[in-house]
Amino acid sequence: MRIGMMLSYSGGFKETVDALGDYEKAGLDIVFVPEAYSYDAISQLGFIAARTERVQIASGILQIYTRTPSLTAMTAAGLDYVSGGRFTLGIGASGPQVIEGFHGVPYDAPLARTRELVSICRQVWRREKVVHEGRHYQIPLPADRGTGLGKPLKLINHPVRDRIPVVLASLGPKNVAMTAEIAEGWLPIFFHPGKAAEVWGPALAEGTARRDPALGPLDVVAQAPLAIGEDVDELIDLARPQLALYIGGMGARGRNFYNDLVCRYGYEAEAAKIQDLYLAGHKEEAAAAIPDGLLRELSLIGPDSYVAERVERYRAAGVTTLKVNPVSPDPARRLRDLERVKVMTA
């Protein structure tokens, strides 16, 4: 099992990157940089590539609507180049609130667009002349075919790799099935190891049945806050604001994928209450309404033996990359916690 870590996009980025060398030495395998509606992920990933030597770097995630497929492929090839072949392209649809509310782009056909985007990216990386006739992307544009403007082009540069790993962030059954079919990896948010087989098992099996063996086994990337010790129990509450934001406020009623996921975990009444409170402006009350049981299922916080048992539950659920977020206020202890969980996953 690999150990990954997410870098925060809300502040302290340079300070975290300053410590990445120590995390590399402690066994960190891959670092993810998200892109929501803060700084872009690409500039930060380039910065990390220049400051590290071994650790893999990944976008976690780039939204499929904010760049053309060809630009996404060019960007991935560029990051793979400056990192010496260490980049993984993490992409996802995000949600209407970010795509329509921040970018002003219609949030439509996420599955079909994702499938087409991945196909185009792989053409670009293989340095093929890009020709694509899909429902959502046409390259070259039909009106330009037969003209000088319609001449298919291929990437000028020779990429470091002709197949950069693609990790898809997906939640719904159809999205997850497509991920298991076409991607090298899957990045689900709020992974519940005890419910994974029930909630996602059929979709993963459906997609795996159509999977090209050349892709290799699906890399399952699960994330969890991490703190190890006898005195860390109160740190579990640090996850409450983010969970409340996603379950309660990341989308309108009926269009909140994260709320739907928690309902599928069996917390229908709790999810409705959290959303009611959050949308009414009662964010602290919404955070307090997060069930303790859900918090613990999504966390790696507790004594050494407890965390070791939780790691085994993630392993048994099929997780191959454990993306941790060390939450101790002590930098030295965060590093020690990562070293310890690395031993647990060996």
Q: Which pLDDT value is given to residue 326?
A: 94
Q: Over the stretch 54-73, which tens digit does the pLDDT of each residue have?
A: 999 999 999 999 999 999 99
Task: Kindly tell me if the per-residue pLDDT of 9 is higher than 60.
Answer: no
Mean pLDDT of all residues belonging to the chain: 94
Q: Which pLDDT value is given to residue 276?
A: 97
CA distance 230 to 217: 37
Q: Over the stretch 199-244, which tens digit does the pLDDT of each residue have?
A: 999 999 999 999 999 999 999 999 999 999 999 999 999 999 999 9
DSSP state of 221: E
Q: Which pLDDT value is given to residue 97?
A: 84
Task: Kindly tell me if the per-residue pLDDT of 8 is higher than 70.
Answer: no
pLDDT above 70: percentage of residues in the chain: 99
Task: Kindly tell me if the per-residue pLDDT of 24 is higher than 60.
Answer: yes
pTM of the model: 0.94
Give the number of other Cβ atoms within 10 Å of residue 211's Cβ.
17
Task: Kindly tell me if the per-residue pLDDT of 255 is higher than 90.
Answer: no
> Using 50, 70 and 90 to split pLDDT, how confident is the model at 324?
very high
Residues β-bridged to residue 2? 321
Q: Over the stretch 120-167, which tens digit does the pLDDT of each residue have?
A: 999 999 999 999 999 999 999 988 887 878 889 999 999 999 999 999
Q: Can you tell me whether residue 204 is helix, strand or coil?
A: helix
Q: Over the stretch 268-298, which tens digit does the pLDDT of each residue have?
A: 999 999 999 999 999 999 999 999 999 999 9
Task: Kindly tell me if the per-residue pLDDT of 10 is higher than 60.
Answer: no
Cβ proximity of 17 and 333 under 8 Å: no
**Least-confidence region, from 195-204, 248-257, 315-324:** 248-257
Tokens of 11: 């502040």
Q: Over the stretch 157-194, which tens digit does the pLDDT of each residue have?
A: 999 999 999 999 999 999 999 999 999 999 999 999 99
Q: Would you say domain 2-231+300-345 falls under CATH 3.40.640.10?
A: no
Q: What is the largest CA-CA distance in the chain?
A: 70
Q: What kind and span of H or E run contains 224?
A: strand 219-228
Cβ proximity of 208 and 220 under 8 Å: no
Domain ranges of the chain: 2-231+300-345, 232-299
> Using 50, 70 and 90 to split pLDDT, how confident is the model at 49?
very high
Task: Kindly tell me if the per-residue pLDDT of 82 is higher than 70.
Answer: yes
Give the type of residue at 250.
M
- Average pLDDT, integer, range 335-342: 96
Cβ proximity of 180 and 208 under 8 Å: yes
